[in-house]
Amino acid sequence: MIHEVNCKKIITRTKIPVAKYVINPYIGCSFGCLYCFAQFIGPFKYTSSKWDRDLWVKVNAADLIEKELPKASGDFFLSSVCDPYQHVEKKYQLTRRILQLLRSHFREAHIMTKSTLVSRDVDLLRELSVTLTITTDREDVRKILEPGAPAVEERLNTLKKLKEDGIKVSVFVGPVLPMNPENLAKQLSKYVDNVFLDALNYHRLVNSVYTKCGWQEWLTEEKFFETVEVFEKIFGKDNVRY
């Protein structure tokens, strides 16, 4: 269910290394990734709603940006507890409007998304930076753990398009999900020179699913570092961060 709301504040200070401020145009996320911390960290936890079904659209976000921006000097991150390009962005275009305002005020911004919709805004991204999240090369894994997110192949095609359009783009392989590490690393190496990997942090959210699917080894620290080693062989140790 989609709820349109007016919020009181939209720009928030953050400790995320890439930016001083964070903007979340939405509460909740229709991608519904089973492992996502935003289910219980951030405003969604106070809604008593179902993750992947209920979503709040901050319809006055752009108006607030214009009011708050003069007092916010620094870089911006979109977004920390939602995907700024999830499905409803196609209709509401909050992220697009926010980027327009940031650019008009000469602010730097970094976008992180799983969505193919990001390529819609290529005209606004040329002076910004984009990180595309690609967590696996297996579509069967994606369908279970990231049920509402775009297919793996679609994300790879989006990565290619952004690169060809001259956008500063990077890849976040996080959390590392069951995959063929060599295959994914080779595919990503066609478009980016370095990658960032992160382990799955909240095992309790997916323990039962991993057990049912026979993926338990992917919950171990050993499997994560095995994956890192494969990526290091293909990208070089200096080009893999984790």
Q: Are residues 27 and 60 in the same domain?
A: yes
Among 96, 113, 130, the domain-final residue is 113
Instruction: Give, as one character, the DSSP assignment of residue 193.
Output: S
Average pLDDT along the chain = 96
Q: Are residues 204 and 136 in the same domain?
A: yes
SS (HEC) of 166-177: CCEEEEEECCCC
Q: Are residues 131 and 240 in the same domain?
A: yes
pLDDT at 107: 94
C-alpha to C-alpha distance for 84 and 65, rounded to whole angstroms: 15
Q: What is the pLDDT of residues 148-166, one digit of tens each?
A: 999 999 999 999 999 999 9
Band of residue 44 on the pLDDT scale cut at 50, 70, 90: confident
Q: Are residues 160 and 94 in the same domain?
A: no
Tokens of 140: 């069967």
Number of domains in the chain: 2
Q: Are residues 94 and 50 in the same domain?
A: yes
Cis peptide upstream of residue 84 (ω within 30 degrees of 0) = no
Q: Are residues 133 and 232 in the same domain?
A: yes
In this predicted structure, the answer to whether residue 212 has a pLDDT above a threshold of 90 is: yes
Q: Are residues 158 and 100 in the same domain?
A: no
Domain span at 213: 122-242
Q: Are residues 145 and 213 in the same domain?
A: yes
Tokens of 78: 């979109």
The pairing of strands 55-58 and 2-5 is parallel
Q: Report how far apart, in Å, the C-alpha atoms of 217 and of each of 139, 145, 210 are.
A: 19, 16, 9
Q: Are residues 64 and 130 in the same domain?
A: no
Is 179:138 a contact under the CB 8 Å cutoff?
Answer: yes
pLDDT at 41: 85
Query: Computed from CA positions of residues 147, 51, 133, 159, in that sequence, does the dihedral angle turn out positive or negative?
Result: positive
Q: Are residues 66 and 142 in the same domain?
A: no
Cβ within 8 Å of residue 212, ≥6 positions away: none
C-alpha to C-alpha distance for 68 and 62, rounded to whole angstroms: 10
Q: Is 218 exposed, middle or buried (0-12, 13-18, 19+ CB in 10 A)?
A: buried
Among 66, 86, 113, the domain-final residue is 113
**CA angle 91–95–98, rounded 5-degree value:** 130
Instruction: Give, as one character, the DSSP assignment of residue 71.
Output: G
Among 69, 94, 113, the domain-final residue is 113
Q: Are residues 76 and 126 in the same domain?
A: no
Q: Are residues 102 and 213 in the same domain?
A: no
Nearest alpha carbon to residue 83 among 130, 138, 13: 130
pLDDT at 206: 98
pTM: 0.95
pLDDT at 231: 98
| Mean pLDDT on 13-27 | 95
pLDDT at 145: 98
pLDDT at 42: 79
Q: What is the pLDDT of residues 75-112, one digit of tens each?
A: 999 999 999 999 999 999 999 999 999 999 999 999 99
C-alpha to C-alpha distance for 4 and 102, rounded to whole angstroms: 23
- What phi-psi label fits residue 74: left (phi over 0), alpha (psi between -120 and 50 degrees) or beta? left
